Chain A
Amino acid sequence: MSHRRTIAPAVLAALAVGAAAVGCGGDSGSGSGEPIKIAWMGAETGEYATKDRHYAIDLAIADINAKGGIGGRKVEYKAYDGGLTPQQGLTAVKKALADKPAAIVGLSTTAQVKATAPLLKSAGIPTLHVAQSHTLGKSTLNVDNVFRYGPTEAMQTHALTDYIVNNAKPKKVGLLASTDPGSEEAARLLRAGLTAGGVANIVERRVPQTATDLTEAVLAFRGVDATVTWSFPTIDSLFLRQRGQNGLTAPTFGDNSGGSILGGSLNPPAELKGYHYVIACDPDLSQSPEAQAYVAGYKKRYGPSPTNPQLAQGYDAFRVLAAAIEKAGGTDPKALTKALGGVTHQGVCGAYKADGENDLYHSDVIIDAEGGLTGRKLLKTYDGLTSRAG
C-alpha cells in the first residue's frame, strides 16, 4: 500500500517549517476579489516530510495563476501539518476549517480520512484525498463532499495481477505483504486476482513493516515462477536484495514503492533485474501532451533530474479543483461539490472523472524497473479501472 513517500535526494528536510503556514505560489496578479484559498494537508514534519513535497503543488498554483487564476481570482494554498496519524489529521483539518478554505487537498492515509470524515461532512468543505482503501468510497463513507484523486488499492492490485497472469503466466507465485491493514487488504485482493487468473499455487508470507531480515520468506519462495510484494519501500528493497543473494531469479512485481526504490537508488542495478511495479502515474514516461508540459515545467523549475512520479497527482488535484471551481462559477461549497462530481479533466496522469464512489481517478501504469531511474520502461497503461475491481 506504500505511503505517498517522496523520493528526490533531500539536502535538508525542511523540518523547521513545522505546522505553520508555508508560502504560497503565484505572482501578485491583478486579480479581482479575494484570492481562493486551498488547504493542503501533507506530512510537513517527520519521516515523510521530504524536501520536494511542495514541488508539484507549487507548480500547479503557478500554472493556474499564470493564466490569470480562476475567474480572475488568484489561487493560493496554505500547508497544514497533517502528518500520518488520525489525530494529526484531525488537528490539521480543524485548523484548516477555522481558516475557511475553498477546499481541502491531500490527506493520505485511510485512518485519517475516516477520522476526519464526520467533521468534513458537517463543514461541507469539498475535500480531495489520496488514501487508498476502497472503504472510503461514497457508498461506504457516506460523505458527499469527499473525493479521491488517486487509485484505490483494488485498482492497483487489479492492474498488477492482470499484468502478471497475462504476461508472466505463472503457475506458482510467492506473495509477500506486510502486516499493516492496507497491505493485508491488498494481499487479499492480489490472491483473489491471481487465483482468478489461473495461478494454482500461492505461497504467502506476512512480515511486519519493521522487519530487518526476509531470509525465511525468500527461502520459502524457491521454485516459484513469480513473486509479488506489497509493502513499504524498505521491505520491498530488502526483498530485492535478499532475492538476488539467494539466487531467486523469477520476475517480481511490487507496489508503488518502486518509485521510491528507483528514486533513492535503494538497490543497485543488478538487484533490479526482473523487477516490475505498479504506480498511479509516471509522467516522465508518458507521451501525453499534458505530461510532457508538466515534466518540462517541473524540470525548468527544479532542475534536470527526473520528476518524482508520486507528486504528479498533487498537481492534477489542484488542476481538477480549479476546473471544478470554474465550472461551479465560484467556491460555494455545495456548488463546488456538485461540480467536482461532474467535472472532467485531462491531467498529467490521465483522465479524471468522478464515478459513483466519488473516485476521480481510474488509471495505473506498470513499470519495468530493470533500467533503474533513467532506464525504466513503461510496460502497460491501465485506464478505466473501477473502485471495486477486486
Chain B
Amino acid sequence: MGHFVGLLASGVAQGAIAALIALGIVLLHQTTGVVNFAQGDLLTLGAYFGVWLVVDHGIATIPAYLIVVALVFGVGVAMERIGYAPLRRQPILAVVISTFALALGLRSLIILWQGNDQKTLPSPFGGRVWHFAGAAIPYQSVLIVAVTGVVLAGLMLMLHRSSIGRQVRALAADRETALLQGIRVTRLSVLMFGLSAALAGLGGVLVAPTLTVSPQLGFTLLLSSFAATVLGGFDRMGATVLAAFGIAIVQQMAAGYVSADYVEAYPYLILLVALVLRPSGLFGEVVRVRY
C-alpha cells in the first residue's frame, strides 16, 4: 500500500509541474499559433529567481513566489516584444524558430547571471514529509499539487467566467472573426505570452526545492510536457492537463510495477501508442487551428 501511494503521490506531483508547463504551451499556441520552445528555460528562470529572492535576499516564501511569477510574466511580455511582435507578418515557423533562439539566449543570460554551478532552493517545509497510508510524501509535493490545483481552477474560472477569458477563447477559436469582433488581438498576445511564461515560472519555483537548480533544469522537464501537449491534442486545455497527470502517473506506476529501466522513455511510449490509436490526440476531435 505504501509503495503504491508513494508512487502515486510522486506521479501526481510530477504531473502537476508538467501540467503547468503544458498549459502555458497550449494557451499560447491556441491564441497566437506559436509553439514556445523557451517554455523550459522560463521555468529555469523561475527557479533561479526563486534562489535569488529566497537564498540571496532572504525574502519569505509566499512573497518570493509571487514576485517570481510577476517577474517571469514580465520576461514573457518582453519575449513577445522581442521575438514575436517584429515577426508578426512572417510565417508562424519564423516565430517558432525565434523562440528557439530566445530559449538559448535566455539560458546564456541565466549562466551569465548565476553561473553554471548547481544551486538549491530550500523548501519552506524543509525536508519534512507527510506520512500517509504508509507513504512518505514531501510537503513540498503537497504544495506543488495544491498550488497547481488552485492556479488551474483560477485559470479555468478566468477563461470561462470573465470577458477577457471569453476573448482569449474566442481568439483561440477563430483569430479572424475575433478581429472582426474588435478583440484587441495584439494586446491579448502580450497577455498570453506573459501568462504562459508566468505558469512556467511558477512551475520552476515550485519544483526547484525537490531538485537541484541548474541551467538545464527546465529543458529536462519540458520534454515530458511536450508529450502531454501532443497527447492532449495541442488545442484543448483540460485534455492537456489530464494528459500531463496521466503520463506522470503511468510513468511512475510502470516504473514501480513493470520495469524501472528506461523510465524516461515511458512518456514517449505512451505518446506513441496513443498516437497510433488516436492520431488526433487522445482527447482530440477535429484539430482546427486558425491563425
Contacts and interface: CB of A to CB of B under 8 A. Distances in A.
B117 A9 contact: yes
B263 interface: yes
Contact of B115 (A9, A216, A266): A9
A12 B111 CA distance: 8
Contact of B212 (A7, A179, A219, A234): A234
Given A219-B3, A270-B127, A50 B116 contact: yes
Chain B CB within 10 Å, residue with most, of A12, A265, A266 = A266
Contacts of A165: none
A105 B67 CA distance: 46
Nearest to A13: B115
Q: Chain A's interface: helix, strand, loop or mixed, by majority?
A: loop
Interface string A66-108: 0000000000000000000000000000000000000000000
Interface stretch (A152-160, A236-244, A348-356, A381-389): A236-244
B168 to A, nearest CB: 30
Interface in B163-219: 207, 210-212, 214-216
Contacts, number: 112
A241 B127 contact: yes
Interface string A2-27: 00000111111101000000000000
A247 interface: yes
Contact of A50 (B3, B112, B115, B120): B115
B2 to A, nearest CB: 8
B255 interface: yes
A205 B260 CA distance: 7
A216 B255 contact: yes
A271 interface: yes
Interface in A252-302: 260, 264-268, 270-271
Contacts of A329: none
B263 A207 contact: yes
Interface stretch (B6-14, B238-246, B280-288): B6-14
B117 A215 contact: no
Contacts of A206: 260-261
A208 B260 contact: no
B138 interface: yes
Which of under 10, 10 to 19, 20 to 34, or 35 or more describes the interface residues of A?
35 or more
Contact of A266 (B118, B136, B216, B252): B118
Contacts of B127: 241, 244-245, 268, 270-271
A163 interface: no
A277 B9 CA distance: 30
Chain A CB within 10 Å, residue with most, of B2, B252, B264 = B264
A237 B13 CA distance: 19
Chain B CB within 10 Å, residue with most, of A46, A210, A213, A265 = A213
B108 to A, nearest CB: 7
A237 B118 contact: yes
Contact of B6 (A207, A219, A237): A219
Interface string B259-270: 011111000000
Interface of A: 7-13, 15, 46-51, 179, 205-208, 210-213, 215-217, 219-220, 233-234, 237-238, 241, 244-247, 260, 264-268, 270-271
Interface of B: 2-3, 6-7, 9-10, 13-14, 108, 111-112, 114-120, 122, 126-127, 129, 136, 138, 207, 210-212, 214-216, 220-221, 252, 255-256, 260-264
